[in-house]
Amino acid sequence: MRFDGKTIIVTGGALGIGRAASFLLAERGGQVSIVDWDDAAAKTACDEIEKNGGRAIYTQADVSDAVAIGKAVARTVETFGGIDSLIVSAGIQRYGTALTTSDEQWDEVLGVNLKGAWNAARAVLPHLQQAGKGSIVCVSSVQALASQQNVLAYTVSKHALLGLTRSIAMDFAKENIRANAVCPGTVDTPMLQWAASLDPNPQSVYDACNQMHPLGRIAVPREIAEVALFLAHESSSFVTGSVWTADGGLLTQIGGVPQTN
């Protein structure tokens, strides 16, 4: 899967899954435009990509700000001449139930995880229309299909992201623009490190996460990025509106069944 001559915007491309996707895209010939609010991490990622012989630019932007995203997309087009794909990976995790989630937290999580994806999509879509083709990939979560406790806003945002993805898939299919979602299980990224750091025994969080996946381990970011790249690439030309779990079997297993060996 080569991306020679292709331009791909990656939101949240400075760290974690987005960073892995940016590196893989550049390794495979793509021109990468990272949009992230972490300026220092985005610069480091771009510097490393360029040191490895790839092409990448970054723009600091908060994805929940439609104007900022619009500017980042315009800059990408000015630099690379067009856009072929968008990978939406920017996301945040916060904890709370229906009673303990504050209005601010709800707005923050929905603003980044859901509106941020919409902002990026609506800024990119006119360029895909102009090109007569394109692909949008949203990194959702297994929490789009199930839930755990105390993650109300996150779960709501990830469920809704599937609705956004499917709506885009339906509205733009006739224009040869595809939209798909990836739903990862647990992935070893700064987001997980932060979540584990909230526990007095961070290693116990890693141990529990490794154990709950039938493959016996959590993912490394590259394993999720590979799925996102496939959906961004024309190899997946007949795939649209779909939801791809990349979860080490997590959602396949029936919970509570005793081990037989």
Ligand X SMILES: NC(=O)c1ccc[n+]([C@@H]2O[C@H](COP(=O)([O-])OP(=O)(O)OC[C@H]3O[C@@H](n4cnc5c(N)ncnc54)[C@H](O)[C@@H]3O)[C@@H](O)[C@H]2O)c1
Q: How far is CA 199 from CA 117, 196, 218, in A?
A: 30, 6, 18
Exposed e or buried b per residue across 53-91, where buried means at least 16 C-beta atoms within 10 angstroms of its C-beta: ebbbbbbbbbbbbbebbbebbebbbeebeebbbbbbbbb
Contact between 187 and ligand X per CB under 6 A: yes
- Binding-residue total with ligand X (CB under 6 A): 28
Site for ligand X in 134-163 (CB under 6 A): 139, 141
Annotated active-site residue 58? The verdict is no
Q: β-strand 134-139 against 243-246: which pairing, if any?
A: unpaired
Largest CA-CA distance found in the chain, in angstroms, rounded: 59
Contact between 64 and ligand X per CB under 6 A: yes
Tell which phi-psi region holds residue 134, choosing left (phi > 0), alpha (psi between -120 and 50) or beta: left
What is the C-alpha to C-alpha distance for residues 237 and 249, in angstroms, rounded to an integer? 26
Contact between 191 and ligand X per CB under 6 A: yes
**Smallest separation, CB 63 to ligand X (Å):** 4
**Segment contacting ligand X by CB under 6 A, of 47-55, 71-79, 87-95, 145-153:** 87-95
Contact between 49 and ligand X per CB under 6 A: no
**Smallest separation, CB 98 to ligand X (Å):** 20
**Smallest separation, CB 176 to ligand X (Å):** 26
Contact between 89 and ligand X per CB under 6 A: yes
Contact between 180 and ligand X per CB under 6 A: no
Task: Using CB under 6 A, pick the residue from 8, 38, 162, 181 that binds ligand X.
Answer: 38
Residue 24: phi and psi, rounded to 5, are -65, -45
Contact between 184 and ligand X per CB under 6 A: yes
Contact between 189 and ligand X per CB under 6 A: yes
Residue 232: phi and psi, rounded to 5, are -80, -20
**Smallest separation, CB 226 to ligand X (Å):** 14
CB of 93 within 8 A of CB of 14? no
CA angle 84, 60, 68 (to 5 degrees): 75
Residues forming the site for ligand X (CB under 6 A): 12, 14-18, 36-38, 41, 62-64, 89-92, 112, 116, 139, 141, 184, 186-187, 189-192
The residues annotated as belonging to the active site are 154
